[in-house]
Copies of this chain bind each other. A is one copy, B any other.
């Protein structure tokens, strides 16, 4: 058997299931037979042509599967092991990796100039909405899944759990901090869970009245603000007795939420931004205290690598955080076009879908 099925980007508006050859395995690679994968808001941007990728590319960056074949230089793993890999697959050996910004690593970027180089799956190389995927730099990126955990339990680790927790970590949350999270989609919900895990004493979640209003509190939110009913800035200032929040986290990618974060931040506070923006941003002079407020704004791309995956799975295994409720729909790979239709249009209260070849 040399052919496999894969969800391929054809042109803006069209991702179709097609046949592709099963890829050859280079010395540093591992070939993984996908058992479960998912899709993500970024994939919808690709579908709509808002984020450009090469025609013919296989989409998807959240692999759970079984090692089928290992490259000649790969040691420490065995055929048949169940593994995940992060959405971001840093090499480990680049300068970027070695100075603490592994997510910005990538081919042709030895000196790290190009951003997002660590995001390869479904971006610069074939992704994992397919029967097989090739994991580059396998030794640094494969992470064995503990037997006690199901595929669906670890399905959020490669991207949204790592991204959301990363946003909370980059916010520098300390014991007793008050934290606001703008937007409670899948990533925002993971931020909420991460903020809870890091010792915030109050977590304020902001979104429109959610279909399932119980999701944010279940993952750790203390207060939920429906921005369609009240002005969230005023409400947050009121909730904090005029003090503002210690850390504000943006998980949507709009001017409105970015700006609201700045407006509710106390002097010396941190804005951790996770959203993917699609236009220039404005920093209002007053919200920025004219540059004298000891503010920090930090952005981040999803952290990857085997150690990151190991740690996130250990959190799932410990029972500290349960993200399984985020999987609201399940599809066969054969029906992935239908899954895209549902997910891109956010129908039927979908949070995340599980896709199984």
Seen from chain A, the residues whose Cβ lies within 8 Å of a Cβ on chain B are 26-28, 71-73, 76, 91-104, 110-117, 137, 139-141, 165, 169, 174-176, 178, 194, 197-199, 201-202, 222, 237, 240-244, 253, 266-268, 273-285, 288-301, 305-308, 310-312, 314-315, 317-318, 320
Contacts A98-B140, A199-B315 known; list 13 others, CB within 8 Å. Answer: A27-B72, A91-B139, A92-B140, A98-B102, A103-B294, A176-B314, A178-B314, A197-B199, A199-B199, A201-B317, A275-B291, A279-B285, A281-B285
Contacting pair A176 B310 (CB below 8 A): yes
Can you identify 22 A-B contacts, CB atoms within 8 angstroms?
Answer: A27-B72, A91-B92, A92-B98, A92-B140, A93-B140, A93-B141, A98-B305, A98-B308, A100-B100, A104-B294, A116-B289, A176-B312, A176-B315, A198-B198, A199-B315, A199-B320, A201-B317, A280-B285, A282-B283, A283-B283, A296-B297, A296-B299
Task: For the complex, give the distance between the alpha carbons of A240 and B314 in Å.
Answer: 12
Q: With a CB–CB cut-off of 8 A, which chain B residues contact A137?
A: 93
Cα distance, A160 to B175, chains bound together (Å): 15
Q: How many copies does the complex hold?
A: 4
With CB as the reference atom, state the residue of chain B lying closest to A314: B201
Q: Given B93, B98, B243, B284, which contacts A113 in the complex, CB threshold below 8 Å? A: B243
A178 to B, closest residue via Cβ? B314
Taking a contact as CB atoms closer than 8 A, the residue among B73, B101, B281, B293 that contacts A288 in the complex is: B281
Chain B residue with minimal CB distance to A202? B318
For A93, the closest partner residue in chain B by CB is B140
Chain A contact residues: over half helix, strand or loop, or mixed?
A: loop
Q: Which residues of B contact A240 (CB under 8 A)?
A: 111
CB distance from A98 to the nearest CB of B (A): 4
B201 contacts A175, CB within 8 Å?
Answer: no
Select one of B98, B267, B310 contacting A114, CB under 8 A.
B267
A52 CA to B308 CA, complexed, in Å: 35
Closest beta carbon of chain B to A94's beta carbon, Å: 8
Interchain CB contact under 8 A, B275 and A318: no
A111 near B241: Cβ-Cβ < 8 Å = yes
A237 smallest CB distance to B (angstroms)? 8
Interface contact B280-A282, CB-CB below 8 Å: yes
Q: Which residue of B lies closest to A28 (CB)?
A: B73
Query: Which 5 residue pairs are nearest across A and B when measured between Cβ atoms?
Result: A176-B311, A101-B268, A92-B92, A93-B140, A104-B267
Contact status B96-A267, CB under 8 Å: yes
B112 in contact with A306 (CB, 8 Å): no
**Known contacts A176-B310, A176-B315, A281-B285: A293-B197 contact under CB 8 Å:** no
Give the CA-CA distance A117 to B311 in the complex, in Å.
22
Q: CB distance A298 to B299 under 8 Å?
A: no
* A282-B285 contact, Cβ under 8 Å, with A73-B28, A305-B98: no
Which single member of B71, B101, B281 contacts A283 (CB below 8 Å)?
B281
Q: Which residues of B contact A296 (CB under 8 A)?
A: 296-299
Chain B residue contacts of A268, Cβ below 8 A: 96, 99-101, 104, 112
CB-based contact A267/B140 at 8 Å: no
> CA separation between A337 and B115, bound complex, in Å?
51
Q: How far is the CA of A276 from the CA of B291 in the complex (A)?
A: 6
